[in-house]
Amino acid sequence: MAVPLVIAESLTKRFDDITAVDSVDFEIHPGESFGFLGPNGAGKTSTMRMIATVSPVTSGTLSVFGLDPAADGRQIRGRLGVVPQEDNLDLELTVAENLYIYGRYHDMARPKIKEKIEELLDFAELTARRDSQVETLSGGMKRRLTIARALINEPDLVILDEPTTGLDPQARHLLWDRLYRLKQQGATLIISTHYMDEAEQLCDRLVVMDKAKIVAEGSPRALIDEYAPREVVELRIHNGMEAAIEQLVKLAPRIEPLADRVLVYTDDADRTLKEVHDQGIVTDSALVRRSTLEDVFLRLTGRALID
Amino acid sequence: MAVAAPIRVLEAQYRTYRRTWRGSVISTFLQPVLFLTAIGVGLGTLVDDGAGTSTLPIAYLAFLATGILPATAMQTGSSDGAWPVMAGFKWRKDYYATIATPITVRDLILGRFGFAAIRLTFVLTIYTIIMALFDAVPLWPGVLGIPPAVLTGLAFTALVTAYTCTLENEIGLANLFRFGIVPLFLFSGTFFPVSQLPDWLEPLAPLTPLYHGVELVRKLVLSDLEAPLVSSTSMWVHLAYLVVVLVIGTALAVRFLDRKLLV
């Protein structure tokens, strides 16, 4: 296997008395799309900031491209593309100017930047807006521009921190499509997200983070197989929730009572659902679905990803 | 061809400024013109006609104009280190975008200050032309005042940038201007010689960078002036003071911005 692009060993980040990242280990390989899945405050952003060399490592070791972030920050950043959680574009400049300035920060020659700008405007579907002031763009367009900007230096590794947070569903899907294309072209991506569907769609491999620690690692499929039965019956029960739960415990190996519904994990949802009705449990609604990373997270931490 | 990193920051600053200069240009030039008209021409006529003539060997307008030049530099320079810097790390967060590239915090500060120097030179050159149009000071030796005024402005850019990087919000900036910059503007010899200050205040004046800027500009441009209208201190002392403030201010700005951004 090729040499990993990122190697973290016992990587730790502390702020005063808060431990944001607590002794995590992981490796990221060339060409893979690697995810950090976890709720807000799990330590995803802190970890990514350390990889991006803009946050000093408290303890443990971290190597990026085989280099030391503390000593070789400039060199590492020259090979990175960074998409921050919050857009930090220059609102007063045009779309093309934002790309141009970033190219100059990367010390690229002007003709090369001009060529890249055309290519990236096309990729981000912003060609028609090339001379628009950034302030006038929609949220989805700004996000795509931020991603295009991160690609100007043809990075070996692209870091995306919550790339679709705050976008409407349509804008999200367009963005996923773009990121998927990037993946197809062989780019190495690091994506943090608290959306399990995003992690399932985009990540080849991911680590689940909770309370500053990594609690599981694997491909989305492998994690689901390992931590959740195949299917889930979601029952909404208005009256007699507690009595119903007592009965359900006997029917399925694992159930998860939530505030407004009960999740019943099973390998055969149809049979379980039939048994539920045979037992005379009155439900307001019943939904059968496949297990997802959300269920994995619930299993590992006892909490939902998004509260 | 590889270009030094601070120069690339300067280039980006220039591109942004090209889009936004219209917003600041009126206020930048209007203020000195208002001062020259109201105080220089209006009040100055009274000063020159009255007892003033016995103490001032030159027109009050000339005295004032050579004080307003570095004082304008101080205001422009200070503003440059205040709101745009806070926007960089707090409101727009464009500094985070910059340092995600091979640019370092030091490059960012040096590039910004480099551009501030160019902008100050431009503003102060226009101001010097306005001074000449007002018949306050002829273009020659008026232009001699530009370099020390730019240095004064930059020293303030550096100090105020460092200060801004220690703040959490803009209340501290409003206070800086209210309790720092405005008193300096009034009491650093801009409107009247420092020797006119109450005895207990007079020794404090040489502690402020603006005082040295004003003294240096006057000694270069109005070479006939003598004590007590200007001090007898050597011009090299003024120059050294301003350079030291600029160097220390720059070092602090790099350190404090580093602490702010790289957490």
Cβ pair A102, A149 in contact under 8 A: yes
The answer to whether A23 and A82 are in contact (CB under 8 A) is no
CA distance B108 to chain A (A): 10
Q: How confident is the model at residue B107 (pLDDT cuts 50, 70, 90)?
A: very high
Interchain proximity B104–A88, CB inside 8 Å? no
**Nearest CB partner across the interface for A105, out of B19, B101, B262:** B101
Interface subset of B 51-70, CB within 8 angstroms of A = none
Reduced to 3 states, what is the DSSP secondary structure of residue B130?
Answer: helix
Which residues have a Cβ under 8 Å from the Cβ of A271 and sit 6 or more positions away? none
Contact A120, A152 (CB under 8 A): yes
Mean per-residue pLDDT, A131-147: 95
Give the count of beta carbons closer than 10 Å to the beta carbon of residue B220.
Answer: 20
**What is the percent of chain B with per-residue pLDDT over 90, rounded to a whole number?**
65
pLDDT band at A212 (very low <50, low <70, confident <90, very high): very high
Strand order in the sheet with A213-218: A80-83, A157-161, A189-193, A33-37, A205-210, A213-218
Query: How many whole angstroms separate alpha carbon A62 and alpha carbon A72?
Result: 12
HSE-CB at A288 with a 13 A cutoff on CA atoms is 12
Task: Give the residue carrying structure tokens 């990087």.
Answer: B165
Degrees (nearest 5) of the Cα angle A138, A142, A145? 140
Residues of chain B contacting residue A106, judged by C-beta atoms under 8 Å apart: 101-102
pLDDT of residue B42: 81
The pLDDT value given to residue B18: 85
Burial of A47 (0-12, 13-18, 19+ CB in 10 A): buried
Among A148-162, A193-207, A208-222, B30-44, which is the least confidently predicted range? B30-44
| Residues of chain B positioned with their CB less than 8 A from the CB of A98 | none
Q: Is the pLDDT at A307 greater than 60, yes or no?
A: no
Decide if pLDDT at A1 tops 70: no
Q: Do A106 and B19 touch (CB under 8 A)?
A: no
pLDDT one-digit tens code per residue, A62-114 = 999 999 999 999 999 999 999 999 999 999 899 999 999 999 999 999 999 99
Q: Is the pLDDT of residue A281 over 80?
A: yes
Reading across the β-sheet that carries A6-15, which strands appear in turn? A18-28, A6-15, A59-64
* Predicted pLDDT at B1: 42
Whether residue B9 lies within 8 A of chain A, CB to CB, comes out as yes
pLDDT (average), residues B151-167: 98
B37 has pLDDT over 80: yes
Choose among A179, A273, A279, A185: nearest CA to A235.
A273
Copy the structure tokens of residue A208: 């689940």
The better pLDDT of the pair B42, B2 is held by B42
pLDDT band at B55; cut points 50, 70, 90: low
Question: Token match 């030796």: residue?
Answer: B141
Give the Cα separation of B244 and B239 in Å (integer).
Answer: 9
Predicted model pTM: 0.91
CA distance to A42, B119, B237, per residue, from B244 (Å):
46, 21, 10
CATH code of the domain occupying A6-219? 3.40.50.300
Residue B94: pLDDT band (50, 70, 90) is very high
pLDDT at B53 over 60: no
The CATH number given to A229-290 is 3.30.70.980
